Amino acid sequence: MHKESAIREPLILGHKTYGDITSDVCKPIEDKAPKMWYILFGIALVIGLYGVGCIFYLLGTGIGVWGLNKTIGWAWDITNFVWWVGIGHAGTLISAVLLLFRQKWRMAINRSAEAMTIFAVFMAGMFPLIHMGRLWVGYWTLPLPNQFGSLWVNFNSPLLWDVFAISTYLSVSVVFWYIGLIPDFATLRDRVKRPIPKKMYSILSFGWSGRAKNWNRFELVSLVLAGLATPLVFSVHSIVSFDFATSVIPGWHTTIFPPYFVAGAVFSGFAMVQTLMLVMRKAMRLEAYIHTRHVEYMNIVIMVTGSIVGTAYITELFISWYSGVEYEAYAFINRFSGPYWWAYWSMMTCNVISPQLMWFKPLRRSLLFTFIISIVVNIGMWFERYVIIVSSIHRDYLPSSWSMHYPSHIDLGVYVGTIGLFFVFFLLFARFFPVLPIAELKTILKSSGESYKNAPDTHHHSEESHNNNNQH
């Protein structure tokens, strides 16, 4: 077993036993849902249904109901798509990259971060589908034999790479998440008393029995999936950035895009994890498992990725001047001083300045401050995509085509609706699924649990060693 330094803060606070972990995670599922859950679920459902209504209106009428025009052919739809995909990057990063780096603190947040990822990618995937206008021909993006002389999809196009990247990412994330969930569903199956939930968890747990060989395979599959998912995470947002970077639009065709987008995705994804976790730990009384130390670790990731994003902003600004290409230079001058200056400066403030505050230890350990910054960051990251997309195309090469983008109420409704749907999914997840990986948390209890950590080195944790340790 790994021995952790005594001065390192424990990851599981309090004097938890294996049984405590099980009951702490299962209790919110077994109890009646609190009134607050119904209120939040109701609000999210209403907003989500409004969004669904807007989508139906859009599909029935055509994408002319969006605020697009001849010059600005891509605006809120792609902005929202990239925003949601970016948010959907934290979960797999936490579970895959941090697993490879053997970061034990990921155990507290990986399950819900992965759920968040999957729901965010659902929301993201909806935008490219509905922007086709004819949703029912969405399968045309796949290389299927057809009656048009077998006209294939264009494998040279980054938009098609996106189809493969997003669908691979979504399906692999679901599998990774579900393989981790199976042993925890088995725990629930063996605990719940009421017949219907018992039947449901019994089906969901696939008959998991926890044999030694099962666990041996489980550990290897987790490791290999993490190894596969790590480059996948980086590839997905690189490919999303290719949608822009391989074009010839000034402001888009920059080689810095892939790393810059990946850093931005991790940045916004972690911010969304913070927003959700800070509420969830309180509402579900999981403060012993997700505490200040975890929040601080995540804030450090936000600070680092925020700094990368900031460096990228300044680099592209400098290069646009240094390149000597006047169109490129103009695109950037227009960004910060043109009609979209307010979007640019909102982005700069939210994404470059706010994460720098995390250098101060009291701030990055403050839960309230973290909560505020996490929301600010996601607002900033939305503006980043809006700035990149709209400000680069709204002033075309011909000044006679110059235009502005004004979102219609359908633009707004679809966007707000996806936020509602996202929370509908997340609240359902928090209600019926184990929000912490029960089995994995038990593996770190003896190395990072408060009552075991600094106990004298003995295998048999008798009552005395617990009591001795209490005096720390």
The DSSP letter of residue 9 is P
Nearest distance from C-beta of residue 194 to other proteins, angstroms: 15
CB 264 within 8 A of CB 86: yes
Q: In the window 426-465, what residues touch other proteins (CB under 8 A)? A: 438-440, 442-443, 446, 459-461
Q: In the window 346-405, what residues touch other proteins (CB under 8 A)? A: none
- Judged by beta carbon, residue 365 or residue 466, the one nearer other proteins is 466
144 binding other proteins? (CB under 8 A) = no
CB 17 within 8 A of CB 442: no
224 binding other proteins? (CB under 8 A) = yes
Q: Which of 54, 58, 87, 232 binds other proteins (CB under 8 A)?
A: 232
Q: In the window 124-143, what residues touch other proteins (CB under 8 A)? A: 143
Largest CA distance in the chain: 83
253 binding other proteins? (CB under 8 A) = no
Q: Which residues of 317-330 are buried (b: 16+ CB within 10 A; e: fewer)?
A: eebbeeeeeeebbe
Distance of CA 270 to the CA centre of its chain: 7
Region of 62 please: left (phi>0), alpha (psi -120 to 50) or beta.
Answer: left
Give the residue among 392, 437, 467, 472 at the shortest CA–CA distance from 179: 437
Interface mask toward other proteins for 9-28; x: CB under 8 A: --------xxx--x------
Quote the CA–CA distance of 207 and 189 in Å, as a whole number. 10
254 binding other proteins? (CB under 8 A) = no
Nearest distance from C-beta of residue 354 to other proteins, angstroms: 33
Looking at residue 160, its amino acid is L
Q: Which of 155, 248, 324, 399 binds other proteins (CB under 8 A)?
A: 155
Tell me how many residues contact other proteins (CB under 8 A). 71
Nearest distance from C-beta of residue 209 to other proteins, angstroms: 4
Q: Where are the alpha helices (DSSP H) in 5-157?
A: 18-30, 35-61, 76-87, 90-92, 98-100, 106-130
Q: Which of 150, 398, 456, 463 binds other proteins (CB under 8 A)?
A: 150
CB 163 within 8 A of CB 187: no
Q: In the window 157-216, what residues touch other proteins (CB under 8 A)? A: 158, 160-161, 164-165, 167-168, 171-172, 175-176, 179, 182-183, 186-187, 189-191, 202-216
258 binding other proteins? (CB under 8 A) = no
- Judged by beta carbon, residue 175 or residue 314, the one nearer other proteins is 175
Q: In the window 69-128, what residues touch other proteins (CB under 8 A)? A: none
Nearest distance from C-beta of residue 145 to other proteins, angstroms: 10
Nearest distance from C-beta of residue 272 to other proteins, angstroms: 24
Nearest distance from C-beta of residue 242 to other proteins, angstroms: 7
Q: Please, which residues have CB within 8 angstroms of residue 219's CB and are 6 or more apart in sequence?
A: none
End-to-end CA distance of the chain: 22
